[in-house]
Amino acid sequence: MIFRKLKILSDEEMMKIVEGAFRILKNTGCRFDDEKCMDELEKQGCNVNRDLLVARFSEEIIFDALDNMASLTPLDDRPKARVASATARKILDYKTKKMRPGLARDVRDVILLCNNLKNITMASAGVMASDVPEGAIEVYNTGILFKYSEKLFNQWITDPDSVEAVFEIAKIITGSEERLSELKILSCMLDSTSPLTYLKGRLKIAREYARLNLPVAICAAPQTGVTAPASLAGCLVLCVAEMLAGLVWLRALDTKSPVALGHLAARTDPVKGRRLSATPEHTLMNLGAHQIIRYLGYTAGISGFSSDSCDFDLQMGWEKAVSGVLSWAAGCDMLGRAGMIADGFSIEQLALEDEVLDMLYRVGEGCVVDDDALALEVVKKVGPGGNFLAERHTLSHARDFWTPKIFSRKNYSQWTAEGKKTVADTAHEKVSEIISKKSLSLQIPEDKAKAIDEIVGKRIEKLGGSLKGGDAL
Amino acid sequence: MIFNRLDILTPEELERIVDTSCSMLEQAGFRFEWDFALNLMREHGCKVDMDAQMVWIPRRLVMEALEKMHPLAAPQEYPKLFWAPWIGMKFIDHKTQQPRSGTLQDCKNIINVVNHLENVSVSSTGVVPQDVDNRLPDLYMAELLFKYSEKIFTTWTFTVDTCRDIVEMALAVTGGEKELKESAIINYLAEPVSPLKLSRHSLEIIKLYGEMNQAINMGSMVQVGTTGPATLAGSVALQLAEDLASLAYLYCLGSQSPVSLGGPMQVADLKNGNCLYAPPELPLIHLGIVACAHHLGYLSGCTSGLTETNYPDFQNGWDRGMSMILLWAAGSEALGMRGQIGAGQGFSLDELALENEMGGMMMKLSQGISVNDDTLALDIIESVGIGGSYSKLDHTNKHFGEYWKPELFSHEAFEEYWANYKHLALRAHEKVERILESYSLELQIPQDVADEIDRIRDRRIERLKG
């Protein structure tokens, strides 16, 4: 298999974009909304304007960061990508086709599903539970995920006040801060606010994670024609500039945090001004960003498997295929947003993505080319006009073929006779079955679970809520 | 743009497959079911058994044919692939959405719609009409396409007599043999019967088209597990062997026809014997045959981008998208069977309209990221500065105008979408309705040439009556 060869920029084009980012950082710079950063960046050699909280960067400083900041280790079992379940405020009610606020019980359902969907490699809580006090949601989700998730998980922390409690929970798992630093079971996202700004809260969170050498994903999420140039190359220049500015700042912290760079830019709907996430322009930017990030020597994360459709229709399948397959074929290391439909989460969508990933991984296994597979002797034996069906060789390979679990292979008559069920209906049945027949089981010792509940409970109480024993609300 | 970079086989693996294909032709042999072809192959150094109609083709002849024959030229326009409709027996009725036998009027409607779908680059009649003399549907199909198609087209040729009539129609359209030979307006899918056999009528048709230098697409239909080995590499090697046998025959005929390699390979469901239209193994074998064709210096086409579903749902989009995108990224120059739905259930105009929408998106993807002073926008980034807005800039307005705009796909927000709910299938249906209501078929050739085509058709009908 020779995947990871899909390139959409020539080396020369890629260099122009990177050099453009260097120029922007040198002439315009980047704003860090925290005076402390000015000290850190000045010490690193940046030209800082403390009144404007702006730092400008020389080439040498950027190269120093690129040379010295370690990359998060990518997966070694290529061509598989790390596929992460998403987290949204709302969740789709499949029967009514309406979005409703996420609830704590949804979090449990999503974790249960992630545990049972083999191709979703990183779990998430799926939703921000609206029945948990606002400032405690991230802590609650982290606690539940540590208790019940059988997989690595993603729970970005956006509230600086949650960091302490989240670290306390992680330390219960690892035993100490030193072990947490070694095991790196938490990570954070340092996302810029385009154009060219890092907000104080995000910097505060990232500083804490960097102090413990925990992984940091530096992400740029501009919107073409609004917070970035409308031209794709220009938007990429801005993204790269913002990522590099974040990288230099992390370097200034003298951290050993491994870094991933993420591209979450979106194309704008010129008429309505909305962010669109599955247009061809968006996919092109994803591929270009991925290529540049790999060139810079880092693990890349992008929002693959995107769709702008609000229904489980052909558009959604097609858009997810275009964005996901191309990102995967280009060798992207991390694909986020699994389970998203419009701006909400859907458990049916998560199951469908598990199915399509299974199919894609079969493609990734490629064709075996050896004497047995080339089957020259079998062809000679069967000869012109013969049939391979009864051959032992056919029998011995009959189980090599991929079998769908949700997708349908029914012909028109069968499909009609069975009520014209859509693939989303089948996905709904599958997730309902998992949720009704399986249950969450503790992944950590009882005493640790209890200690986590106490931390979560304290956080909730502080904000006016309460836990009714265990992690029940 | 640097596409054509998705390789699934190493050069060594490709060489092994080509070597195995040549060994199949040398050792297993190939059946040519026509004495003329057997004699021709013997004259060119092949070992021949006239009784068994078997030919063992030496590697030398295959290599010579590969070197001397002319590859079909690649499409120059974005998305740089031939995007050709399917031709099936059933038609998904436009009003009832039920599958039924195709009619001559369906053929006309399909040609009309294809004329007005900007991303479907090749035309066809979509269905084989069942309301005409069942010995002549291919002649009626060709007649309609010559007269009304605004695009190059592909069609089936079921009999040698029809082939002769089609060549005569092409001569009438182009104005003579010299003009026809230079224009290559018709093409033929040389379809060996797997494993390792070419029927007499295929051999005769290849000869007739070959003599007029018309394009020949070498495309057998090996089915993994039944007419080919159950292993993917073995079936790709068999498919290539059959393509190369056809190529060697065309070379021995002394034809100047441009050639492509590839074809509509299939995968059997070994549990029930059904033909599968969208298993993940299908794009793999198609990627394999495309890679082999490119390795040998030829263009390639296949029939990926199909679906098992009967409705434009998520699976339909994924099935089509995964295989189509992989093949396109690997540089396949032709993707056939557009408009097909539901495990070969039938041809659907609504599906074709949806695929036209997909084609528009692929065209935009093909254009890639333009990198120049204007698009890099460094001066603009510097002038907008930190925390500024790009919303009202001339640069923004100009580039907004270049963005892909969907016609059928939705970019609405969730609440807006469900408040004005109209399923994608209905949106596609309405687009087809609009085309059929707004346009009628118009002759694309002078009236006297159309009359000549009618005369050729009528003469054949008279002969059959006689």
What values do phi and psi take at B411, rounded to 5?
-120, 20
Provide the mean pLDDT of chain B: 93
Segment B345-390, tens digit of pLDDT: 789 999 999 999 999 998 898 888 999 999 999 999 999 999 999 9
Q: Where are the domains of chain A?
A: 1-72+187-297, 371-400
The confidence score (pLDDT) of residue A411 equals 87
Cα of B60 to nearest chain A Cα, Å: 19
Contacts across the A-B interface (CB distance below 8 Å): 413
How many Å apart are CA A43 and CA A52, to the nearest integer? 17
Cα of A467 to nearest chain B Cα, Å: 33
> How much is the average pLDDT of B149-171?
95
> pLDDT above 70 covers what percent of chain B?
98
Interface test with B, best of A3, A192, A314 (most B CBs within 10 A): A314
Interface test with B, best of A369, A381, A403, A418 (most B CBs within 10 A): A369
pLDDT band at residue A248, thresholds of 50, 70 and 90?
very high
The confidence score (pLDDT) of residue A407 equals 96
Q: Please answer yes or no on whether B319 and A317 come within 8 Å at the CB atom.
A: yes
pLDDT band at residue B335, thresholds of 50, 70 and 90?
confident
> How much is the average pLDDT of B160-186?
95
Segment A29-53, tens digit of pLDDT: 999 999 999 999 999 999 999 999 9
How many Å apart are CA A194 and CA A245, to the nearest integer? 12
> How much is the average pLDDT of A11-22?
97
How many Å apart are CA A21 and CA B376, to the nearest integer? 10
pLDDT band at residue B87, thresholds of 50, 70 and 90?
confident
Segment B393-443, tens digit of pLDDT: 999 999 999 999 999 999 999 999 999 999 999 999 999 999 999 999 999
> How much is the average pLDDT of B245-260?
97
* Predicted confidence (pLDDT) at residue A345 exceeds the cutoff of 80: yes
SS3 at position B250? helix
> How much is the average pLDDT of A333-340?
85
Q: Please answer yes or no on whether A322 and B325 come within 8 Å at the CB atom.
A: yes
pLDDT band at residue B80, thresholds of 50, 70 and 90?
low
**A 32-61 near B (Cβ less than 8 A):** 52, 54
Pairing of strands A90-93, A98-101: antiparallel
* Predicted confidence (pLDDT) at residue B4 exceeds the cutoff of 80: no
Residues in B closer than 8 angstroms to A15, CB to CB, are none
SS3 at position B190? strand
**A 409-468 near B (Cβ less than 8 A):** 409-412, 415-416, 420, 422-424
Please give the CATH number for the structural domain made up of A1-72+187-297.
3.20.20.480
Cα of B403 to nearest chain A Cα, Å: 7
Give all domains of chain B, ordered by start, each with its CATH number.
11-366 (3.20.20.480)
The confidence score (pLDDT) of residue B78 equals 63
The confidence score (pLDDT) of residue B437 equals 97
Residues in B closer than 8 angstroms to A291, CB to CB, are none
> How much is the average pLDDT of A110-115?
97
For chain B, the first-to-last Cα distance in angstroms comes to 59
pLDDT band at residue B1, thresholds of 50, 70 and 90?
very low
The confidence score (pLDDT) of residue A304 equals 78
pLDDT band at residue B302, thresholds of 50, 70 and 90?
confident
> Of A5, A283, A374, which is closest to B6 when you measure between CB atoms?
A5
The confidence score (pLDDT) of residue B402 equals 95
The residue in chain B having the minimum alpha-carbon distance to the alpha carbon of residue A406 is B315
Q: Please answer yes or no on whether A232 and B375 come within 8 Å at the CB atom.
A: yes
Interface test with A, best of B4, B5, B30, B315 (most A CBs within 10 A): B315
Segment A389-441, tens digit of pLDDT: 999 999 999 999 999 999 999 988 889 999 999 999 999 999 999 999 999 99
pLDDT band at residue B5, thresholds of 50, 70 and 90?
low
**Rg, C-alpha atoms of chain B:** 24
Q: What are the contacts of B38-46 at 24+ separation with CB within 8 A? A: B40/B249, B40/B252, B40/B253, B41/B248, B41/B249, B41/B252, B43/B252, B44/B248, B44/B252
User: Residues B67, B94: contact at Cβ < 8 Å?
Assistant: no
> Of A7, A230, A382, which is closest to B5 when you measure between CB atoms?
A7
Of A286-295, A376-385, B449-458, least confident by mean pLDDT is A286-295
Look up residue B158 and give its DSSP letter.
-
Provide the mean pLDDT of chain A: 93
Q: Please answer yes or no on whether A398 and B230 come within 8 Å at the CB atom.
A: yes
SS3 at position B206? helix
The confidence score (pLDDT) of residue A3 equals 47
Residues in B closer than 8 angstroms to A363, CB to CB, are 280, 283-284, 322, 326
- In which element (H, E) is residue B98 found? none
pLDDT band at residue B79, thresholds of 50, 70 and 90?
low
Segment A86-109, tens digit of pLDDT: 899 999 999 999 999 999 999 999
The confidence score (pLDDT) of residue A331 equals 79
The residue in chain B having the minimum alpha-carbon distance to the alpha carbon of residue A237 is B376
**A 125-154 near B (Cβ less than 8 A):** none
* Predicted confidence (pLDDT) at residue B90 exceeds the cutoff of 80: yes
Q: What is the pTM of this model?
A: 0.94
> Of B232, B314, B398, which is closest to A424 when you measure between CB atoms?
B314
Cα of B187 to nearest chain A Cα, Å: 26
* Predicted confidence (pLDDT) at residue A464 exceeds the cutoff of 50: yes
* Predicted confidence (pLDDT) at residue A1 exceeds the cutoff of 80: no
The confidence score (pLDDT) of residue A2 equals 39
